[in-house]
Structures are given as C-alpha cells and as structure tokens.
Structure 1
Amino acid sequence: MTIDALFIVLTAAFLHALWNAVVKGAPDKAIVLGLISLGHAIPAMFVIPFTGLPVWAAFPFIVGSTLIHWGYYWFLNTAYKHGDLSVVYPISRGMTPVLVAVGAILFAGEVLPSVAWIGIICISLGIGCLSLAGLGRHTNWIAVAAAFGTGLMIASYSLVDGIGIRLSENTLGYIATLFVAEIFVAGFIFTTRWQRVVTLPRRYVWAGLAGGVISGVAYGLVLYAKTIAPLGVVSALRESSVIFASIIGVMWFGEGPKSNRLLAASIVAIGIVALAMAS
C-alpha cells in the first residue's frame, strides 16, 4: 500500500467516526440516518452528469449494496438507541477486517502476505480490547447483538462494493450512482415517519445532512482506495476509526470506563504499521 492510499483510508476513518458521533448525539436516530442518506444522494445527483454511469455489469452490485445498507442502517439505529458509541462502534467495526479479508480470498481471489494478516489480526485484537473495555454490568445486550448485526452488514457491503467498483470501469460513476440510490432509503424513512421529521429541531436536520456529506466523502475515499489496494487491507485500515470513535465517546459523550484505551490504540497502531510494511 502506498503512502497516498494509507493517508486516504486514515482520513476516511476519522470522517467515519465523526458522522457516527452525529448519529449517536441525535434525539431521533432513525430520522438523522434518513438525512444522512439524503446527504449522500443530493450531492451525487449534481455530480453524476459529469461522471457518467458505470457499465451495466456493476449495477447488480449497486442494487445489492443498497439493499444491504438498509439492513446496516436498521441495525445501526437499534444499536445506538440502546448502547454507547464507545461500545457499539468497536464491536461493529472490529469483526469486519477478518471477515472482509476472508471474503476477498473466497470471492475476489486475493491472497495476502503473512505480514498483512498480522496487521489485520492486530487491528481486530485492538478493537476487541476497546469492546471489552466498554462492557460491564450495565451493558445493554440488545445493543451488543445489534452491533454484531451491523458488523455483518458492513462486511457484506464492503465486499459487494469492493468487487462492484472494480468491474465498473468508472470509479467515480460507481460511487455517484451508489449514492443516488440512497434516495430510496431516505424516501422510505421520511414517508413512514413524517411527523417525526417535521418536529425534529432544525439544528439536527442540518447536522444530519452535514453528516451525510461527511459520510459520503468517507465512503467515497474508501471505495477509491479499494481500486488501488487489496480489499482486506483497506477494510482493516479503515477500522482504525474505532480509536477516533472511542476518543469522541469519552471526550464528547462522557462515556466510560476509560481503561485499556491506550493499550488498544497501541495494538491498532502496530497493525497499521504491519499493513503498511506488507506492501
């Protein structure tokens, strides 16, 4: 992996943690998730005339990814309704690197060197430490179960989009088309919960739309990175966002306990270095 690709994915990781914090801090998480989908779709509508469409072979992957994202938003909404950011986020992201790396072997024919696997495992272990640090007697197990469901959805759409964008023959066109398709997610949420939409304070409306733009930039960067680096490596590096999310959870939302954060961050950092060395 080049330094440019490393920087792109780490930037996306920070942005991803930031928009999840926006969702966690919202009084109505379902509506804000709808606004985030809208924040993907509206800018993409203006961009797609300039990017054009991907080839038809990519469209089944766009449809599949859109459907998986519905499940992702449902699980994410449930998890954040019942659990802390610093617990839900590490669990949902921690299982993804290994699942994507294995899936890339099975479905994309990628074979990673041993050093890369060490990096992926270190990142997953570091994330696991963060997960354990947030669990305790008062843990809401509905949130934990929903976080695991979120992780499965993340791994699924990561693989689908990773393969789809490589077949698209138009990287920016694939990203723009994928984001335009999220208008269906926003439309479903708003039409079934319109009273909650109109009563949501305006500052959260703007925060949700801004979160959508941030989220779109983050995922667009990740999708681009998947065209120049192995899927498993990109996925693992992206999950360094759990460090940012845990810091935000502790500093912004006052979540605890704070123990083991430094250890977990160090393990994740070792994994990032190993992945960088692997290429």
Structure 2
Amino acid sequence: MVLLVLFAALLHASWNALVKSSPDKFLDIVLVTSGSAVFCVAALPFLALPMPASWPYVAASVVIHIVYFALIGAAYRSGDMSHAYPLMRGVPPLLVALLSRPLIGEQLSAGEWGGILLICGGILGLLLAGGRSGGMSRASTGFALVNAVAIAGYTLVDGTGVRLSAQPVAYTMWIFLLTAPPILAWALLRRRAGVGTHVRARWHLALIGGAFTLGAYILVLWAMTQAPIAMVAALRETAIVFATGLSVVVLKERFGWGRPAAAAIILLGVIAIKLA
C-alpha cells in the first residue's frame, strides 16, 4: 500500500509540474481537468455506480475540487512552484490528522503520529530551506494556505465517501467527470478566444496530465479504504520531494542546499509510518 501511494505522489507532482511549465496556468488546469474527464467518459459505462450513501460526498467533493483547481492556478501565477507547493501540500496532512478523530472517529497510533509530523515538518522544511527569493510573495502564500484548507477538506470528504461507495474507481471518476464541465465553462466565459489555441498547442500534455491526476487520486482513495485517512494523506504529500526535484531540474527554479536534509526527514516519516 505504501509503495502505491508513493507512486501516486510521483504522478501528482508530475501533473503539477506540467501546469507550472505552461505560460498559461489557468488554461492548463482547464485542459488537465478536461483530459481526466475524457478517460472517465470512456471508463464509467463499464463500472458499477457508487452506493447511494456516497453521492452527497461526491457532490461536496466536486465543489471543493473546483475551488482547489482555481487556487492552484492562482498560486502558480503569483510565485514559484517550489514555494507554493510545499505550503499547499505540507499543511493539509496535519489538519487532517487533527480533525480525523473528532469528525470521523479515526484514531492514530503514536508511530503514525510520529510519521505524519516528520513528513509535515520535512515538507515545511523544504520551504524554509529555499530561503526568501523573488519566487515568494504574499499573494502566492495566501493562495497556497487557503488551498491547504481546501485540500484537507476534500481529503476528509473523499476518505469518508469512498468507504461508503464500495466502488473506489467509479467514485473517483464521477468526481473528476463532474468537476470538469464547470471549470471548462468558466474558461470559455473568461478566455473564449484563447482556449482553442491553447488546446491545439498542449492537447497531448492535457491528456498526460489528466491521466496522471486521475490515476493518482484513484490510488489514493483506494488506499484510504485500507488504512487511516490521515496516514494516507501524509504519505501522498511525499509528492513534494518529487515536485522539488522537478521544479529544479525541469523548471530551473532556485535550489537551496538545505532541501536534501528536509527530504531525508520526509523519508524518515515514511519509514515511521511503514513500521507503525
């Protein structure tokens, strides 16, 4: 299970890097969500429907995901991926861990708590290791922190909903299918003239990004049916290690030498969870 979630983390970081590499982050997010919906349309006729009890969670998740995708674009437009991504991904696991017991009655062992705290600390350490640079801005920080709350929200909603669904793959695909049309409609209202040009230039990357984000979330939600939600949420955020490498190697963003130490702390957190 741990290895599958780590693979999901790699997929997640990869599609975020695709968006960050685009000259138009907003339209790239639109294309990625639309690309994921294409796969859902093709697959859902062959899958059983999620159980009725899970549909309110699907609806809530769709709303939160629309906010989430909008905030990703805003954060990446206003600052470096290597600044925004650690904030967006480092804070939610701690929020989820703190809220899991009062909201869903899920208790964590001491070892699981230790692993989660190490992962969160290492992720935020990556941010501090980067130092202050032109890539850091109040706007980027604000968007990233608001998105952290959104991420914690959909994590708890979907972790609960997928357990009620009895169909993790179909549950995930319905979320992605229903999220795409509002985002596409918003794009057409705001940027009708630019959508066609962007599609022609980056349609292949949209399909790749769509496959990556859909596949990553299917794996994560399946894992939440097998293990505590907070533990899976923390493991998923090891995506930051992959994202940091991609932002430096592919996107040529600044590299702080404290980051290897922070990555080692994250690895210790993964090991602690594995041994818990």
With the shorter chain as reference, the TM-score category is over 0.9
Q: 2:217 & 2:176 partners in 1: Cα distance?
A: 10
What does residue range 94-113 of structure 1 map to in structure 2 within 5 Å? 94-113=90-109
- The answer as to 2:156 corresponding to 1:159 is yes
Q: CA deviation at 1:135?
A: 3.9
Does the 8 Å CA contact 1:35/1:186 hold for their aligned counterparts?
no
Among candidates 216, 225, 228, match of residue 227 of structure 1: 225
Q: 1:137 & 1:48 partners in 2: Cα distance?
A: 45
Does the 8 Å CA contact 2:188/2:195 hold for their aligned counterparts?
no
Who is 1:272 aligned against? 270
After superposing the two structures, state which structure 1 stretch, 220-229 or 163-172, moved more. Answer: 163-172
- The answer as to 2:72 corresponding to 1:76 is yes
What does residue range 43-122 of structure 1 map to in structure 2 within 5 Å? 43-122=39-118
Secondary structure, counterpart of 1:38 in structure 2: helix
Who is 2:252 aligned against? 254
Does the 8 Å CA contact 1:26/1:32 hold for their aligned counterparts?
yes
Q: CA deviation at 1:164?
A: 0.4
* TM-score for both structures, normalised by structure 2: 0.95
Cα gap change, 1:171 to 1:257, in 2 (>3 Å): closer
Q: CA deviation at 1:205?
A: 2.6
Cα gap change, 1:137 to 1:6, in 2 (>3 Å): closer
Who is 1:150 aligned against? 147
Q: CA deviation at 1:96?
A: 1.1
What does residue range 14-53 of structure 1 map to in structure 2 within 5 Å? 14-53=10-49
Q: CA deviation at 1:213?
A: 1.1
Which ranges of structure 1 fall in alignment gaps of 5 or more residues? none
After superposing the two structures, state which structure 1 stretch, 203-212 or 268-277, moved more. Answer: 203-212
Secondary structure, counterpart of 1:181 in structure 2: helix
Among candidates 192, 206, 221, match of residue 208 of structure 1: 206
Q: 2:214 & 2:170 partners in 1: Cα distance?
A: 14
Secondary structure, counterpart of 1:136 in structure 2: coil
Does the 8 Å CA contact 1:30/1:189 hold for their aligned counterparts?
no
| 2:96 alignment partner AA | V
Q: 1:269 & 1:154 partners in 2: Cα distance?
A: 22
What is the aligned residue count? 274
| 1:85 alignment partner AA | M
- The answer as to 2:181 corresponding to 1:184 is yes
Q: CA deviation at 1:155?
A: 0.7
How much identity, in percent, do the aligned residues show? 36
Q: CA deviation at 1:201?
A: 6.4
Q: CA deviation at 1:41?
A: 1.1
Q: CA deviation at 1:218?
A: 0.6
| 1:185 alignment partner AA | P
Q: 1:151 & 1:133 partners in 2: Cα distance?
A: 20
* TM-score for both structures, normalised by structure 1: 0.94
Q: 2:79 & 2:226 partners in 1: Cα distance?
A: 36
Secondary structure, counterpart of 1:200 in structure 2: helix
Which ranges of structure 2 fall in alignment gaps of 5 or more residues? none
Q: 1:6 & 1:156 partners in 2: Cα distance?
A: 22
Does the 8 Å CA contact 1:34/1:189 hold for their aligned counterparts?
no
Who is 2:132 aligned against? 136
Q: 2:137 & 2:21 partners in 1: Cα distance?
A: 18
After superposing the two structures, state which structure 1 stretch, 245-254 or 134-143, moved more. Answer: 134-143
Cα gap change, 1:67 to 1:135, in 2 (>3 Å): farther
After superposing the two structures, state which structure 1 stretch, 124-133 or 172-181, moved more. Answer: 172-181
Secondary structure, counterpart of 1:259 in structure 2: coil
Q: CA deviation at 1:137?
A: 4.7
Cα gap change, 1:134 to 1:141, in 2 (>3 Å): farther
Does the 8 Å CA contact 1:34/1:185 hold for their aligned counterparts?
no
After superposing the two structures, state which structure 1 stretch, 222-231 or 98-107, moved more. Answer: 98-107
| 1:92 alignment partner AA | M
Does the 8 Å CA contact 2:8/2:215 hold for their aligned counterparts?
yes
